[in-house]
Amino acid sequence: MDAGSSSSQKFSDYLVTKKSAYGMSYEKSMVNYPIDTPAFTVDIKERPMIHQILSNEKYCDLYHRYFDEFISRYFEGGYFDTFYSSTVKMISPYVIKDAKSFYSFRQFEEGTRELNKFCSLRAKSVRGQLNKTIPSTLEGQKKNPETLIDTKDLDIMKTLDFSTMISVMGISVEDINGILKTAVEYIPNKYLTDGKIDISKFTIDEINALKKNLGFIIPVMFQVIKDNSVIRNKLIKAFLPKILLILMLLAVIIFAIKQFRRYLRANGMKNKITK
C-alpha cells in the first residue's frame, strides 16, 4: 500500500465504507463544517453550552467575533504558515532518525502537507461563513452546495491511519482482516454488500441492541480467535490482555458505525435496510 493511503482501503476486502454521501466527500464535509450548527448529529439542547451561545444574540455575535479574530490574526495574517512550517522543520530530523517510528518519513511529509492544506481550506470556509458567502448551517449547505470550498486536491486520509493505531496495540492489518473474514460468515446477509460488511446498513437501534447483548458477541469472538492462528498464538502468551484488546476493537467498530449512521441521518439519508 502506498504511503499515506486511506486506512479503509486496507480493510476493503471485507469492509464497505462510503467515502461520500450526497456528493460531499469527507474532506468537503470537514472543511466546510457549519459553524452555526456544530452539533447537528444530536439535538442542540443536548449540548447546553453551545446551545446557550447560539440561542442568545449577544453571545452568538461574540462567538462570531472571536472566530473572525482567530481567522484574521492566525491565518490571514500569515502566522499559521510560519508557525506550521517551522514546527515541521523542527520535528523532521527526529522523524528521520526514529528507528522505531510507526510512520515512514514520506508518510510524515504527506500527512503534514495535507494537514496544512486542510487547516488553510478550513480557514477559508469559516471566513466565507462569517461573510455569509457560504451557508453557516447544515441545512443551508445542503441547499447551496455550490458555494462550499472545493477540496478536490485534499486527501485528509493521509493524516489518519487506523492501521497504525492497531499495530501499536499489537495486532496487524492482516489480523484485523482475519477477524473481518470470519465475522462475515456470522453476519446476516442484510448487512452485507457483495459479500462485505456494509456499515451503512446498520441502524442506530441495532447498534444499541448489539451493545446490550454482549452474550452474542462473546461466542463470535472466540470463533474468530479459533479461526485465526496468529491471534490464537498471541492469546496463549497473554490471554486476558488480548481478550480485552479484541473487545476494545469491537467497541471501536461499534462506535465508528454509530457515528457513521448519525452522519448519514444528519444528511437526510433514509433507512434502506431490507428487512
% residues pLDDT > 90 (the chain): 34
Q: CA-CA distance, 211 to 208, in Å (whole number)?
A: 5
Instruction: Report the range of poorest mean pLDDT among 41-45, 65-69, 203-207.
Output: 203-207
The answer to whether residue 240 scores a pLDDT higher than 50 is no
Measured N-to-C along each axis, helices 204-212 and 239-266 cross at an angle, to the nearest 10 degrees, of 160
Overall average pLDDT of the 8-19 stretch? 60
Report whether pLDDT(256) > 70: no
Confidence check: pLDDT of 6 > 70: no
Give the range among 67-71, 110-114, 175-179, 222-226 with minimum mean pLDDT.
Answer: 222-226
Q: Is the pLDDT of residue 228 over 70?
A: no
Please count the other Cβ atoms lying within 10 Å of the Cβ belonging to residue 96: 11
Tell which residue, 210, 200, 205, has the closest CA to residue 263: 200
Is residue 157 over pLDDT 60? Answer: yes
Query: What's the pLDDT at 122?
Result: 96
Q: Name the more confident of 84 and 18.
A: 84
DSSP string, 25-36: EHHHHHHT--TT
Which cell goes with 55? 440561542
Is the pLDDT assigned to residue 8 strictly greater than 60? no
pLDDT at 138 over 50: yes
**C-alpha grid cell, residue 57:** 444574540
Model confidence at 9: pLDDT above 60: no
Q: How far apart (Å, rounded) are the C-alpha atoms in residues 152 and 29?
A: 12
How does the average pLDDT of the chain come out, rounded? 75
**Higher local confidence (pLDDT), 195 or 64:** 64
Residue 143 burial by CB count (10 A; 0-12/13-18/19+): exposed, middle or buried?
A: exposed
Question: Residue 147 has which C-alpha cell?
Answer: 458555494
114 contacts 26 by C-beta, under 8 angstroms: no
Segments making up each domain of the chain, as ranges:
22-160, 169-266
Of 163, 224, 174, 181, residue with least CA distance to 5: 163
